[in-house]
Each structure stands twice: as structure tokens, then as C-alpha cells.
A and B are shown apart, each in its own frame.
Chain A
Amino acid sequence: MTEIRLETQALSRRFGALVAVQNIDFKLAAGARHALIGPNGAGKTTFVNLLTGVLPPTRGRVLLAGRDITAMAQAERVKLGIARTFQINRLFRGLSVLENVCIAVAERVGAARSMFYPAGKRTDVIDEAMALLQTLKLAEAARHRVSELPYGRQRLVELAITIALSPKVLLLDEPAAGVPSAESHIILDAIERLPEDIAVLIIEHDMDVVFRFARRVTVMVGGALFAEGTPREIESNPQVRDVYLGQAPYRAAHA
């Protein structure tokens, strides 16, 4: 039995009368490659926000490696190893690619607390950031401002920042969203090369991405878990086809 990294118990979140997330029991094991799919408004992003501590749940618990982290703030959870990317890039747009990653590394190793030691002398931080950029094939772009990069590359920087945090659990919220299909392979390649041990949960609309990447798939509908299984099982599940996969026009619009 593999180690369970992240677990939720009866996790729920209401916004007034709207139940965005309802009673979710979910487990993510070490090394998992798990996809979370579901139609728009199914509560996927709210679920991720509950996991990362951006939102407090109305009910239920979140456990990280067996430890109750429900009451913890976002920053504390990051220190314990939960990192995420956002549906829309959240980057330091005016800074260089290298500096974007350096800020994340400095935060993780605790360098960011030091007020009187030049950041430029922390070559350990810079080396680590450079090494990461190399594995993501971003080293050439290191000196560019993030705002000058094409969108696909920016998504890659977003990924680099989260990997720089050495996560145990990585939550990817539509990592390829908005990236032209000609560029999306660079994101997918990078995701496939993630260290094996990280537990990865990916929210994705693009079924090609899901079936290429995921070993397990969970379907969410109306805030609740709807089905879970291998990609093949999910694909052949007639009910899932009904609520989600069958929405051909939807997929076409997002292709």
C-alpha cells in the first residue's frame, strides 16, 4: 500500500445557499498522477482552494500525510509541501524568469528572511534556480522579463515556480489552459518529467491531456464526486459520457 499524501474527509464548502463542494472524501497517494475533471462550475477550483488553504471549508478535514492541516494558513501548507499553479498565471511579470524562480527558492530555503546579505551572493539559490530552468528548457529565456515571453513559456515559468518549492503534493489547475496547441506539448513534456515521487493532481478540460498524463481520474459534478477510475474506465462509463465527455460542442469551443 503506497503512502497517502493528501486526504480529505467529508470536505464541504458553501457560498451562501450554493454548495460548491459537497462531502468529498478523496485520497492522493505518493507518486499519484491523478486527474480531476468535470464540467464548468463543478467545484474543481474551489476544491483546490480548500486543499491549499485559500478558502476555509464549511465542514470536513484536510490531512497531509495523516496530519490535520484544516486550520492552517496557505503559507504554512506550502512549507509542508502543498504547491499549486493557477488557472491564470500568477507571476512576477516585471522581473526576469530567473528572478521569478529565485524568489520561490529563496522563500523555501529561508533565505528570504535575511535583510542584510545580498541576494546576489546566495549562489546556492541561483544555482538551484538555474538547474531547474535547465531541466525545464528555460535556461535560454532566463534573462527575459516574464511579460516578454509567449504565453506557453509563461505557463512553464508558473510550473517552475511551484517545482522550486519542492512540493510533496502538486496541484495543477489547468496547466495548459490558454496555451496554443502548437505550444502545449512543452507543458505536457515538463509535467511528464516531474520527479516520480511527487503526488500530482491535475485539473484539466482537455481530454487528450488527461488521457496522456493520468493514471487515475476523478469526475466531479455539482460539487460532489461522481465517479473515479482508470482513464479507460472513465472513458467507457456511460454516465460520465452523458454529463461530460459527450459535450462535443464544449470541447470544440475549448480546443
Chain B
Amino acid sequence: MSVAASAAGGAAAAARIGNSAARALMRRHRLRWWEALPWLAGIAFYFAFPDYLSFGCDLVVTILFALSLDLALGYAGIITLGHAAFFGTGAYTVGMLASYNVWTEPITALLLAALAAALIGFLSGLVLLRTAGLTLLMLTLCTMALLEQAANMGHAYTGGFDGLPSLPIAAVFGVFEFNPLYADTQYLFALGVLFVCFVFVRTLVYSAFGQSLTGIRENILRMHAIGSPVRWRVLVCYTISAALAGIAGGLWAQTNAYVNLSALGLDRAATVLIVLILGGYGRLYGAFVGAVIYLALEHFLAQIYPTAWQLGLGLLLVLIALFARGGILGLGEVLWRRYGGKLSQRWRGGHTAP
């Protein structure tokens, strides 16, 4: 209201500075010290577990894929079960370009993967984002199934069920070769790509555009009523999310040096959804927590109980669904709100006491 704003301009600035809500809003996009932790852990992993770097690559790719889903599902509230469509598009873009020696430079190949996935996301989004709920869920699933079948039937180009093995990937910056036996370059490259993508997503989420996406998730009818171009916003978000999923898929193809139909299936789409729900959606770092826990569980449970390791995962999911709707990060927030204040008080008290 311009009337109120002009009448109380100076007072408002004072109110903004004096008000805790306004301060919180102004500080939200600032970096916090703990945000360095995932990256330090990522670098530490490189030195601590040199034998597990291909596992590390999987982890980074899963995080990036879950992050892309978080943008669509967690921020804009687009319920999708077909996100692997974009992962697969990215993977096959990189795979086919490399396999036929058209384009093997890894960074630009990822950009092309992003572009291809964005195109599919935009075109399918034009149609299916007009729907909501179950219809939307089924349509995203159908889009993915169509692409999967296309990849299966076009086996002259895609390798069909067998996929495309032994992809030649050029050295990063023309210097750092991908070693098929030892994934050190792959891991650092993937970590770097994840970092760039994460900075992008983080910036987006804390912008006013990101805020309006949250508004769409919270109450789409109200967003219409305040004059927001909701359809367009959601479409833009979906397209960006698809592009990021495409990069994740491309990275997957590069780090594994192959691509096959598993890039596109329901299995992958469902897994990334589970990862995100496990970690907590709409939280930026839910993708990190979810991916680490999912892959760690997969790794260790499969060692203990190779035939039915998914049972343990299922039980955990049931617990999360029942008791921690915000995922593990959400649970952490609740616990911190309840006990964290007291703990930090006691801790501080202990240190300042004479």
C-alpha cells in the first residue's frame, strides 16, 4: 500500500531493523558456517576413501538428481513420479554424442544434456502442468514411460536394452583424464559440477522468484489472486529442474562411461523421490542428507542381507512417514527447536561461568 509506505517510510526502516521477522528475512540468504561442511566432507572423502570413489560419484550424482527434484517438488510443489525422464534424456544425450564421437568434451556435453532435458521438460510441462494431483502424477509417469520405450525401440542409436558401453569421454579442461579403473578425476569433476549447480539452486531458492515458488506450493489459489503468473512460474521452475536432472544424468553417463535403460526407469524415479523424502524436501540440504543415508544403507544393508536389503529401507521409510513428515532434516529441526536452545544455553553457561 503506497499510502502507508510513504506515510511511514522512515518509521518502516526502523521497524524493519527492530523486527525479528524482518531481520530473519533479510538474513536468510546469507551463508552459514555449517554450509561449508558438505563440501569439506566431499573433499575429505576423496582423501579418506580412495577405494570408494566410484561410490562417491554415485553419491554426488544422486545428490544432484535429488536437488533437481527438490526444486520442482519441494519448492514449487509439482508432484512428479517421472523425473527420471530428464535424467535419462541427459544421460542419453551425453551417451549418444560420445558413443558416435560427435562430442566428447565433458563440460559442454553436460550443457547440451541440460539443454535437451530442459527442452523435454518445457514441452511436456506445457501440457502436463495444466493438471494437478493424481492426473499430474500419472502424466509425468507416462512421459517417462514414452521416453523409455523410445530409447528401447531406437536401439540402432541408443543400444536398446544393452545400452551404450565404453563411452569415450575427453579429458576435463583437456588435461585431467577419466581413468576407467580409478574414479579420482571423475569424482572431483562430479563434485565440482554439483557445487556449481548447488550455488545456482541456492541463489534461485532465496530470490524473490524462489519465494514466489514457495507461495505456489503453500497456496496456489492465493498466488493467482495476488496476480502471479502461476502457470508460467511453475513451467520455468519445471524446466530448470529438468535441466538440472539432465546434468545429473549426463554426469552419471560420464562417470560410469556407459548409459543404459536404467537411466530412465520408474526404479530411478522412485529412488530419487525416496531419497528426497528421506532427507526432507523443500530444504535444499535434504538432497544431501537423503542421498548419503540412502546410499549408505544400500551399501551396508546389502552386505548384511543381500537378498532383501530393501526391507530395512522400507522400515525406515515407514518410520519417516509416520513420525517425521519433514524427513530427517525436518526431524532435526523439530529436535533442535525443542532441545537445542536449552543445550546451547547450558553449553554457553558452562563456559561463561567463573
B115 to chain A minimum Cβ distance, whole angstroms, is 18
**B contact residues around A84 at 8 Å (CB):** 225
- Residue pair B211, A86 in contact (C-beta under 8 Å): no
**B contact residues around A119 at 8 Å (CB):** 25, 28-29, 206-208, 210-211
Task: Determine which residue in B8, B11, B28, B207 has the highest number of CB atoms from chain A within 10 A of its CB, and name it.
Answer: B207
Assess whether B338 is interfacial by the CB under 8 Å rule.
Answer: no
- Residue pair A118, B218 in contact (C-beta under 8 Å): no
- Residue pair A127, B5 in contact (C-beta under 8 Å): yes
Assess whether B212 is interfacial by the CB under 8 Å rule.
Answer: yes
Query: What is the 8 Å Cβ interface bit string for chain B, positions 219-257, against chain A (1 contact, 0 not)?
Result: 101111111111000000000000000000000000000
Assess whether A252 is interfacial by the CB under 8 Å rule.
Answer: no
- Residue pair A95, B1 in contact (C-beta under 8 Å): no
Cα distance, A127 to B22, chains bound together (Å): 9
- Residue pair A122, B208 in contact (C-beta under 8 Å): yes
State which residues 111-159 of A face B: CB under 8 Å.
111-123, 125-128, 130-132, 134-135, 139, 142-143
B120 to chain A minimum Cβ distance, whole angstroms, is 21
Q: Which of B9, B20, B225 makes the CB contact (< 8 A) with A74?
A: B225
Q: Which of A90, A128, A130 makes the CB contact (< 8 A) with B19?
A: A130
Assess whether A201 is interfacial by the CB under 8 Å rule.
Answer: no
**A contact residues around B9 at 8 Å (CB):** 127, 131
- Residue pair B219, A93 in contact (C-beta under 8 Å): yes
Assess whether B40 is interfacial by the CB under 8 Å rule.
Answer: no
**B contact residues around A41 at 8 Å (CB):** none
Cα distance, A108 to B187, chains bound together (Å): 45
Cα distance, A115 to B11, chains bound together (Å): 29
- Residue pair A92, B204 in contact (C-beta under 8 Å): no
- Residue pair A127, B1 in contact (C-beta under 8 Å): no
Query: What is the 8 Å Cβ interface bit string for chain A, positions 151-189, against chain B (1 contact, 0 not)?
Result: 000000000011111100000000000000000000000
Assess whether A228 is interfacial by the CB under 8 Å rule.
Answer: no
Assess whether B135 is interfacial by the CB under 8 Å rule.
Answer: no
A200 to chain B minimum Cβ distance, whole angstroms, is 14
Assess whether A220 is interfacial by the CB under 8 Å rule.
Answer: no
Assess whether A28 is interfacial by the CB under 8 Å rule.
Answer: no
- Residue pair B221, A143 in contact (C-beta under 8 Å): no
Q: Which of B3, B8, B25, B221 makes the CB contact (< 8 A) with A102?
A: B25
**A contact residues around B224 at 8 Å (CB):** 74-75
**B contact residues around A122 at 8 Å (CB):** 208
A49 to chain B minimum Cβ distance, whole angstroms, is 11
State which residues 13-43 of B face A: CB under 8 Å.
13, 15-16, 19-22, 24-30
- Residue pair B222, A130 in contact (C-beta under 8 Å): no
Assess whether A98 is interfacial by the CB under 8 Å rule.
Answer: yes
- Residue pair A123, B26 in contact (C-beta under 8 Å): yes
Assess whether B203 is interfacial by the CB under 8 Å rule.
Answer: yes
Query: Which of chain A's residues has its CB closest to B218's CB?
Result: A92
- Residue pair B11, A134 in contact (C-beta under 8 Å): yes
Query: Which of chain A's residues has its CB closest to B5's CB?
Result: A128
Cα distance, A77 to B27, chains bound together (Å): 34
Query: Which of chain B's residues has its CB closest to A141's CB?
Result: B21
B214 to chain A minimum Cβ distance, whole angstroms, is 7
Cα distance, A164 to B225, chains bound together (Å): 12
Cα distance, A226 to B208, chains bound together (Å): 46
Cα distance, A79 to B229, chains bound together (Å): 11
Assess whether A7 is interfacial by the CB under 8 Å rule.
Answer: no
Q: Which of A52, A117, A120, A139 makes the CB contact (< 8 A) with B27?
A: A120
Cα distance, A125 to B208, chains bound together (Å): 10
**B contact residues around A161 at 8 Å (CB):** 222, 226
Assess whether B215 is interfacial by the CB under 8 Å rule.
Answer: yes
- Residue pair B227, A108 in contact (C-beta under 8 Å): yes
B290 to chain A minimum Cβ distance, whole angstroms, is 20
**B contact residues around A103 at 8 Å (CB):** 211-212, 214-215, 223, 226
- Residue pair B218, A95 in contact (C-beta under 8 Å): yes
**B contact residues around A162 at 8 Å (CB):** 226
**A contact residues around B214 at 8 Å (CB):** 92, 95, 103
Cα distance, A222 to B305, chains bound together (Å): 70
**A99-B211, A115-B209, A125-B208 are contacts. A142–B3 as well, Cβ < 8 Å?**
no
**A79-B227, A119-B206, A132-B1 are contacts. A142–B21 as well, Cβ < 8 Å?**
yes
**B contact residues around A96 at 8 Å (CB):** 21, 24-25
**A contact residues around B308 at 8 Å (CB):** none
Cα distance, A86 to B219, chains bound together (Å): 13
Query: Which of chain B's residues has its CB closest to A92's CB?
Result: B218
Assess whether B4 is interfacial by the CB under 8 Å rule.
Answer: yes
Q: Which of A91, A114, A123, A165 makes the CB contact (< 8 A) with B208?
A: A114
Q: Which of B7, B21, B226 makes the CB contact (< 8 A) with A165?
A: B226
**A75-B227, A78-B227 are contacts. A143–B12 as well, Cβ < 8 Å?**
no
**A90-B222, A130-B15, A195-B3 are contacts. A114–B206 as well, Cβ < 8 Å?**
no
Assess whether B352 is interfacial by the CB under 8 Å rule.
Answer: no
**A contact residues around B25 at 8 Å (CB):** 96, 98-99, 102, 119-120, 126
The 20 sampled A-B contact pairs (Cβ below 8 Å) are A52-B225, A75-B228, A84-B225, A96-B21, A99-B21, A106-B212, A107-B226, A107-B228, A111-B208, A113-B209, A114-B208, A115-B204, A116-B204, A121-B26, A121-B29, A122-B208, A126-B25, A128-B5, A131-B1, A131-B8
Listed in ascending order, the chain B residues whose CB lies under 8 Å from chain A are 1-5, 7-9, 11-13, 15-16, 19-22, 24-30, 203-204, 206-212, 214-215, 218-219, 221-230
Known A-B contacts: A91-B219, A113-B208. Give 8 more (CB < 8 A): A99-B25, A106-B208, A107-B223, A114-B207, A121-B26, A131-B9, A134-B11, A135-B4
Identify the 3 closest CB pairs spanning chains A and B, nearest first: A78-B227, A143-B21, A118-B29
